[in-house]
Structure 1
Amino acid sequence: MSIAEGQADVIVVGSGGAGLTAALAAARSGATVIVLEAHQRWGGTTGMSGGAIWVPANHRMAEQGIEDSLDAAREYCADHADGRDPELVEAYLRAAPAMARFVEKHTPIEFATMAYPDTLAESPGGRERGRHLEVKPLDIGDIGPQDGVVWTAPFPMVLTNDELFGGAVHGGTTIPVSLIGRRIAADEVTLGLGLVLGLITGCREAGVELVNECRVVELLRTDGRVSGVVAERGGERVTMTVRRGVILAAGGFEHDRGLMARLVGGPMGDPLSAPVCRGDGLRLAARAGAEIAHPSECWTVPVTPVEGRIWDDPEATPRPLMLMAERFMPHTLWVNRHGRRFVNEASHNIALALAEVDPGTHRPRHLPAWAICDAQYREAYVFAGVSPGQKLPKHVLVADTLAELAELIDVDPGTLEETVARFNGFAAAGRDEDFGRGDAAYDRYNGDHKAPHPTLGTVEQPPFFAVAAHRGAIGSKGGPRIDGRARVLGWDGQPIAGLFAAGNTAASIFGPGAIANGMHLGTAMTMGWLAGVAAAGAEPEL
């Protein structure tokens, strides 16, 4: 089995969390496996992500005495998966705990529960901690240097999510320099980087052949069954056949501007995902006759463009900045094109509000939108990617009064002053009467735990600052519809023989928003695991 021989039992297209988990599952189920990655770098968006995976009723929760159950998770999802396939939701919930145990068994990865709450933890079946898993600091050993191996994150991936966000490091508290130094000296990594490198190690030990710079451009079919792929590598076309199946796990299509315009529509900033998500999986599945579902949806977050900030790829793709501290920290609020607040800024699904359309004008209801803060905020927290005391970039607007700031962002000064005064009253009282910011466990977890209120504070001390907020994608949600074994379905509802899909290549199980931070990676790895087992002709051990 090798690319040189041109055949294998299973070929996996893509090397993110979904693809690597699928490859590992297929190999450990007895199949010969080749992973084909289009780029020279491994891991796709997973490698530079937070690496959190949402796994209700996982084994680490049980070890710590944190109560959870499949029934509770089912109740939570049922309330927030309207219009989705309940059988697919059920398949995910049943398989996710087994997937996590499988990954631990066959890789150097050890998971830890996070203090991260469900997005809507107060809902029936929700949990305020434990369902999110992340990789404990992982010794990368002889895997090699990180540079050039995976897509790089904007910060060293040596702290855990709880150390980053639970400790409000992104909000300007003291950075644990000594801990970072110890981790770097020990060759330890965390987050998505730890997840990808751990999965790569497991795949190599299982005999998976990993081939990069090999882009799949066509699926072969014989007697109605997917029987292989045609790929481009080094300027040549390579044909490979499979005995069992092809698993599509090549990410979404958010970096294809044409597909985004035709399928998603509406104003959208540059995506945050790795610039390899060009719709390869969607196109391959569509040509094979797959039914396409949820093409207009994306995993979205607010972003702001930064001049000169680009990806290290031949196209110098723009790389926007995700707005994080600007959503959660005290002494900040967001206003829309009318100068009014329009959303709970700390909401997980704030970007859904950025997509709203005015039915009377067909124009965006809220855009342009602005994150606004004052001197109190700037003295304590990151703003537009810049720490306190550092020079702000040119695209940040600064004014000595709110009226002057209103002129800069083109809103009515009186309206902005009225909006800020109303917000300041809520902040002083410790309760946001308009949008409930800070009421949810999710809001409070991401805020400043040392402040009088983790996410509310007055905006009243000059100077005042503003930065534009756009809707940005961390992944598309539309793709081929799959069943509970991750088999791609045709328009007749029947599986296309030999074709599987997982991750953002497949139609999302949940939507249109998110109900847990680690949901898109949790579903990717879980359905990848199910795809790998099924493609190998085995049954999952749940």
Structure 2
Amino acid sequence: MMPSEVDVVVVGSGGAGLTAALSAAVAGAEVALFEAAPRWGGATAISGGQVWVPNNHRMSEFGVPESHTDALTYCTTHSPDREPELIEAFLQAAPRMARFLEEHAPLRWSACGIPDSFAEHPGGRSSGRHLEVLPVELAELGSADDLVWPAPYPMVLTNAEIGELDLTGGARLPMDLIERRTSAGETTMGLGLVVGLMRGCTEAGVALHRQCRVQELHRDADRVRGVTVADASGQRHRVSARRAVLLANGGYEWDGELAARLHGGVAPLAVSPPVNRGDALRLAATAGAALARTSEGWFWPVFQVPGETWSDGSPRARLVLAERGRPHTIWVNRAGQRFVNESSHNCALAFSDVDSGTLLPANLPAWVIGDARFRERSPVAGVAPAEPAPDWLVEADSLAELAQRAGIDETGLLATVERFNQLAGTGVDTDFGRGAGPYDHGIGDPSAPHPNLGSIERPPFFAAPIRRGTVGTKGGPLTDVRGQVVAWDGTPIAGLYAAGNAAASVLGPGIIAPGLTLGLALTWGWLAGRAAAGAPPTPAS
């Protein structure tokens, strides 16, 4: 039943929204959460579910020493021109958020042996800062098929298990374990996180409403007072908020026109479900919010496999994973030249480079180039090693023929492969530094002589086109240390809060850790939810 008035309205059911709703309810507020889509969880539900939490209470499982000073050094070094008070607030709150969720939701964290993006830099860590949920039961929530957007793989294995079994590299799935957990109704990764948060919200009394899109904010001279919601039938309802409205309904990667305008003329391909269409950005703008980071995103290299779509018919992109870091592959542009450390976490930023002579993208179109040894061991865009190559995957018995078929400069490609093979033979990529750090090694082939480097010389060769993609955008309203949205003059907008990709990112412009998206989303959801409910600020540790 649609409420007419509550204490706190939360918009969006991803990690940020669910955490915000739970923290507001635990703080004593009556909370209603509205999800525009017919499925819960947004991008969180199909994610790997890794949550970056420096100084978390599970780091001792890896015996990793941690300090607030190191985490602060690491974050500030890699986030130039960001607000230092917001970075400090994140680092203070993140460990408390993790403990809070264990206390108030049926989920338990486990630390992951995943390196920071720049683990070798001052303040970085090679393991321990990442958390993931242990298997969570669906329980009263029912079937995952009716609950969330379908993931590209079964979410019943943990990241630790996937790494130990080398499943990203194409190893055989542990079907017995998958069947046991499926029969028990257990979930992991992003789905497990969403399930745990939803169960926590339900137990805390949060009213969850899906297929209800928030279309307007209501504001008088003093504060934001509520929202207008359109339900599944199109009927509009006014819902008053006695204390606050909290925006956690994602970014704008699925509004092609808006994304193109803000990202340099070409919208990146979205990996997230087709739900984030800029509602939060527009709602905040109507309230007079100061907007920032609108050109930034959580950019990733992706494949656009012909025919792969979401359930609503929208095209579905795939993340480039094994094809980034494992031996016997490189990336080249139309000139046949390498242009980036393919294994780096921020490799997709190179797709934004512009050719000074033509003013066209310098490195698009681009291709993954590899040889038979890669295909024998690893998947390409979901095509398993034993499967025949589809039409969109170009194959040839020589590199010259491959270049001709793919439309790559032949002379450039031959010279690039010759150069790379020389570097691979030495075990050191002096051109781009591939394989030089812990993050690179972590996404490589642990059984290979070098986890990231291997020559390209055994036919048949292949070329797979790659594109600039994103798992979400980073632009939105600026907030203060409690998640309250601020106006252009720097004053807080009473009654309006934001978290997750609905807010301007606190860290960036690049990615400094796997799981940073969720680390920020859950932490600011916790902070903003408490503040929206009227809870006192958390004291600094």
2:7 equivalent among 6, 9, 13: 9
- Residue 529 (1) aligns with residue 529 (2): no
Distance in 2 of aligned mates of 1:212 and 1:46: 16
Partner of 2:225: 227
Q: Report the Cα offset of residue 354 of structure 1.
A: 1.0
Distance in 2 of aligned mates of 1:167 and 1:178: 14
Partner of 1:360: 357
2:431 equivalent among 430, 434, 442: 434
Q: Report the Cα offset of residue 398 of structure 1.
A: 0.8
2:150 equivalent among 139, 149, 152: 152
Where in structure 2 are the equivalents of 1:32-111 lying within 5 Å?
Answer: 32-62=30-60, 64-111=62-109
AA aligned to 1:302 is P
Distance in 2 of aligned mates of 1:536 and 1:173: 47
Partner of 1:210: 208
Distance in 1 of aligned mates of 2:228 and 2:191: 30
CA 1:63–1:446 in structure 2 vs 1: closer, same or farther (change >3 Å)?
closer
Supply the RMSD in Å over aligned alpha carbons: 1.2
- Residue 425 (1) aligns with residue 422 (2): yes
CA 1:166–1:90 in structure 2 vs 1: closer, same or farther (change >3 Å)?
farther
Q: Report the Cα offset of residue 166 of structure 1.
A: 4.9
CA contact (8 A) 1:165 1:446 kept: no
Deviation track 1:237-271 (CA, whole Å, cap 9, x = no partner) reads: 00000110000000000000111122112434421
AA aligned to 1:342 is F
CA contact (8 A) 2:257 2:267 kept: no
Partner of 2:283: 284
Distance in 2 of aligned mates of 1:425 and 1:62: 42
Distance in 1 of aligned mates of 2:164 and 2:363: 30
Q: The residue matched to 2:58 in structure 1 has which SS?
A: helix
AA aligned to 1:21 is T
AA aligned to 1:218 is E
Query: TM-score with structure 1 length normalisation?
Result: 0.97
1:189 equivalent among 169, 187, 190: 187
Query: TM-score with structure 2 length normalisation?
Result: 0.98
Partner of 1:502: 499
1:373 equivalent among 370, 373, 381: 370
Q: Report the Cα offset of residue 455 of structure 1.
A: 1.4
Q: Report the Cα offset of residue 164 of structure 1.
A: 1.9
Partner of 1:487: 484
Q: The residue matched to 2:150 in structure 1 has which SS?
A: coil
Distance in 1 of aligned mates of 2:106 and 2:417: 51
Partner of 1:303: 302
Distance in 1 of aligned mates of 2:459 and 2:3: 68
Partner of 1:199: 197
AA aligned to 2:365 is P
Partner of 1:24: 22
Distance in 1 of aligned mates of 2:493 and 2:258: 24
Q: The residue matched to 1:311 in structure 2 has which SS?
A: coil
Q: The residue matched to 1:459 in structure 2 has which SS?
A: coil
CA contact (8 A) 2:253 2:267 kept: no
Provide the identity percentage: 54
CA contact (8 A) 1:107 1:199 kept: yes
Q: Report the Cα offset of residue 326 of structure 1.
A: 0.6
Q: Report the Cα offset of residue 62 of structure 1.
A: 3.6
CA 1:375–1:65 in structure 2 vs 1: closer, same or farther (change >3 Å)?
closer
Deviation track 1:30-62 (CA, whole Å, cap 9, x = no partner) reads: 000000000110001000101111000000114
CA 1:506–1:166 in structure 2 vs 1: closer, same or farther (change >3 Å)?
farther
Partner of 1:236: 235
Q: Report the Cα offset of residue 14 of structure 1.
A: 0.3
CA 1:166–1:495 in structure 2 vs 1: closer, same or farther (change >3 Å)?
farther
CA contact (8 A) 1:168 1:447 kept: no
Q: The residue matched to 2:269 in structure 1 has which SS?
A: coil
2:323 equivalent among 326, 343, 363: 326
AA aligned to 1:301 is W
Where in structure 2 are the equivalents of 1:254-269 lying within 5 Å?
Answer: 254-269=253-268
Gaps of 5+ in 2: none
- Residue 469 (1) aligns with residue 460 (2): no
CA contact (8 A) 1:267 1:471 kept: no
Deviation track 1:337-362 (CA, whole Å, cap 9, x = no partner) reads: 21011111111001000111122321
CA 1:431–1:167 in structure 2 vs 1: closer, same or farther (change >3 Å)?
farther
Q: Report the Cα offset of residue 434 of structure 1.
A: 1.0
Partner of 2:440: 443
Q: Report the Cα offset of residue 182 of structure 1.
A: 2.3
CA contact (8 A) 1:477 1:508 kept: yes
Q: Report the Cα offset of residue 531 of structure 1.
A: 0.5
Distance in 2 of aligned mates of 1:539 and 1:70: 23
Q: The residue matched to 2:434 in structure 1 has which SS?
A: coil
Partner of 1:342: 339
CA contact (8 A) 2:62 2:127 kept: no
